Structure 1
Amino acid sequence: MSTTPSDPADAPARRGRPRSAGVERAILDAVVRLLEDGVPLGEVSMERIARTAGVGKAAIYRRWPGKEELLVDLMRSAEPPEPELPGTSVRDDLVALLEALRRRGVAKRSSAVLHTVSAQLRAYPRLWDAYHRAVIQPHRRATLDVLRRGVETGELRPDADLDLLGDLFVGPLMLRTLVTPDAALDEDLPARVVDTVLAGAANPAAPGSP
C-alpha cells in the first residue's frame, strides 16, 4: 500500500488496513514546521496543518479527535519514553523515575518545538489538560505506586505523607526545568534528590537504615 500523504486508501487504525505511517509522520512534521516558523499555538489550526502536510483534514481526524491530542502526541514523540523500573528497591525505582524527568527537561531545552509548546501550554487550558492527563498524571501515579510499595515493604516510614513525598521528589526537577531553566540538570541530580529526601523519610527500623 502506498504511504504517500495523498493516499486515499489510508484507513483507520482500529479497522481494516493499518494506518499509513508516512501520512502520520507528514502530519507531525507539518506541525513542527509551523511551530519552527513561529506560528503561535492558537493559529495552528487543523486546516493549516492539513494544508502544510498535503493531506485532507479527514486524514488528521482519523488519527486524532482534535488539535489538543495531536499536539500532546507530538510532544510525547519528542520526549524521552517513560522508564522501565528496575524493581530492585524503592530508591532505584525513584531514581529511574526522576531520571526520566531530568531527560525530559534536557529535551525541552534542546528542542525548539518542545520549548515553544511548553512555554505556551498554560495559555491553552484544553491543551494543558490533555497534556496533564496524558503525561503528568501517569508519572505521578507511578511515583505514588512506588512510594506505597515502599511503605508496604518497610523501606519507608508507615506514617509517611506520600502525596507530600511525591512533591518533594519531583519538585527540584520541575523547578530546574520550568522556573530556573538555566539551572544545572546534572546526571547525578536524580540520585542526589532521592537520597536527600529518603534520608528523612526512610523507616529507621528498615535493614540498613542509619
Structure 2
Amino acid sequence: MTRRQFLAAAAALAVVEPLPLWAQGAPRRVRGTIDGISGRDLAVTTREGQRVTIRLAENASVSALRRLELSAIAPGSYIGTAAEPGPDGAWRALEVLVFPEAMRGTGEGHYAWDLTPTSSMTNATVDSAVEANDGRSLLLTARGQQVRVMVPPDVPVVTPIPAAMEDLKPGAQVFLVATPGPDGTLTASRVTVARDGVVPPM
C-alpha cells in the first residue's frame, strides 16, 4: 500500500459530515461482520442484522488499527472521538482515534454520529489533557469551538495502520462507508478491518 492509499484508507475513519443511515441515495456507514468475499463483492451482516453486499472499488484500500495507551492522547494531538453526553455536561468518550500527523485536520468539527442514538463525533486538536479519577479529561478545539471530553480508562484508543485485501476474511469485523448507485448497488473504496484482536470501535 502506498502512502497515498494509506492516508485515503485512514480518512474513511472520520467522515466530515453526518450521514443519515439507509436514506435513499445517501452514503451509509456500515458496521458489521464479513460473511464472505467473492471477487470484489464483500458480503456483510450489519450490526442491525441486515445482510448486505458491497462492491469494492478496483483500487479499494484497506486499513487496520493498533491499540495505544491512554497517555498517547497528549496536548497537540489531533484526534477523532465518538462520545455520549454525560450527566456533568461533559461528553464521555466511547472510542478515540489518534490521527497520524499527516492527517491533521481530517474531518475537523463536532457533529452527530450514529455509533449510538445520542453520540457525537469530534475531530479536533487536544488543547489540554488532565488525569482524573475516572480517566483523562480532554479539552478539544475544532473550528474555534471548544468541547470537553472525558475518556474513561477502559475506552479503546487506537491509531490507523496499513492492512491488505487478504485481511478481509469471513468473521472479521469491518467499518466502511458505502455509496449506493442508481441501481442500488453499494460500493466502497475504503475498508477498516479488525486485525490482531483490534476491532474498529467507531
Whether TM-score is above 0.5 comes out as no
Instruction: Name the one with the larger helix percent.
Output: 1
Interval containing the TM-score (normalised by the shorter chain): under 0.3
Instruction: Name the one with the larger strand percent.
Output: 2
Q: Highest relative contact order (Cα 8 Å, sep 6+), 1 or 2?
A: 2
TM-score for both structures, normalised by structure 1: 0.21
TM-score for both structures, normalised by structure 2: 0.21
Larger-gyration structure (1/2): 1
